[in-house]
Amino acid sequence: MEKRERIVRRIARELHDGDYVNLGIGMPTLVANYVPPGIDITLHSENGMLGVGPYPLESEIDPDLVNAGKEIVTELPGTSYFSSADSFAMVRGGHIDMTVLGALEVDEEGNLANWMVPGKMMKGMGGAMDLVAGAKRVIVAMEHTTKDGGHKILKKCALPLTGTKVVQMIVTELAVIEVTPGGLVLREIASDTTLDAVKKATGATLHVDGEIAHF
């Protein structure tokens, strides 16, 4: 299975029936494809919509209906629309059950860096800072290391932060890690990897609390 598919399939198992969920641009969006049977969630898009549906058929295209990634989408029955100010009131007010975002770095305290690489032009944080500050649960979806094997899970983030002490869970192609007040707890490892390989790929201390499951 492709790395990204493995990550988003695992995150989809964190969804609860009735959840209001915001999925970030890119890989997190794919979580919507793996919602388990019997679980009914409502997708929030921060540009002002609850009830995001799949991409339209060519015949259904409506330029007035886009998601936060500026992709054209459809509305499901029960959709509502609202202004950006109302949308972020929902976010900051703690009404969104879960958000899934990518990351450049995450650290032992749950600090997250995902918007700015020094030396490159700043493109902006969009809604990421509001989402991590306000959602009840923040899950990071990312590959465990950089393309050249560098650590992304660190003792302390080096890049400019998106939020402080905001991440509750990190899901990679190798591991499921929970961020706790006592540090990072390794909950699961992928069925085709080893504890040593996960530790080697991680630049922070991993703790164990009972059994490590496989996924």
Partner 1 sequence: MNKVIPSAADAVALIRDGATIMCGGFGLCGLPENLIRALHARGTRNLTVISNNPGVDDFGVGMLVRAKQVSHFIGSYVGENKEFERQAIAGEIKYTLVPQGTFAERIRAGGAGIGGFFTPTGYGTIVADGKETRVIDGRNYVLEAPLRADFAFVKAYKGDSKGNLMYRKTARNFNPVMATAATVTIAEVEVIVEPGQLDPDAIVTPGIYVTHLLKGAYFEKRIERRTVRQLQAV
Q: Does the protein bind partner 1 through residue 88 (CB under 8 A)?
A: yes
C-alpha–C-alpha distance, residues 118 and 160, integer Å: 8
Q: Alpha carbon of 73 to those of 45, 54, 64: distances in Å? A: 11, 6, 10
Q: Does the protein bind partner 1 through residue 127 (CB under 8 A)?
A: yes
Q: Does the protein bind partner 1 through residue 71 (CB under 8 A)?
A: yes
Both structure tokens of 56: 């339209």
C-alpha–C-alpha distance, residues 69 and 50, integer Å: 15
Phi, psi for 89 (deg, rounded to 5) = -65, -40
Q: Which of 62, 76, 136, 146 binds partner 1 (CB under 8 A)?
A: 62
Strands 20-23 and 42-45: parallel
Q: Does the protein bind partner 1 through residue 24 (CB under 8 A)?
A: no
Q: Does the protein bind partner 1 through residue 34 (CB under 8 A)?
A: no
C-alpha–C-alpha distance, residues 32 and 128, integer Å: 19
Q: Which position among 46, 105, 173, 188 bears the catalytic label?
A: 46
C-alpha–C-alpha distance, residues 170 and 79, integer Å: 30
Q: Which of 12, 15, 21, 49 binds partner 1 (CB under 8 A)?
A: 49
For the CA atoms of 114, 117, 121, 122, what is the dihedral angle to 10 degrees?
Answer: 30
In the complex, the smallest distance separating the C-beta of residue 62 from partner 1, rounded to whole angstroms, is 7
Q: Which of 1, 40, 84, 180 binds partner 1 (CB under 8 A)?
A: 84
Q: Which of 125, 185, 197, 212 binds partner 1 (CB under 8 A)?
A: 125
Piece of 63-71, 168-176, 189-197, 207-215 that binds partner 1 (CB under 8 A): 63-71
Q: Does the protein bind partner 1 through residue 35 (CB under 8 A)?
A: no
Q: Does the protein bind partner 1 through residue 72 (CB under 8 A)?
A: yes
Residue 50 in contact with residue 80, Cβ under 8 Å?
A: yes
Residue 182 in contact with residue 155, Cβ under 8 Å?
A: no
In the complex, the smallest distance separating the C-beta of residue 198 from partner 1, rounded to whole angstroms, is 28
Give me the residues that bind partner 1 (CB under 8 A), please: 45-49, 54-58, 61-73, 75, 81-85, 87-89, 91-92, 111, 121-130, 133-134, 160-164
Query: Catalytic positions, please?
Result: 46
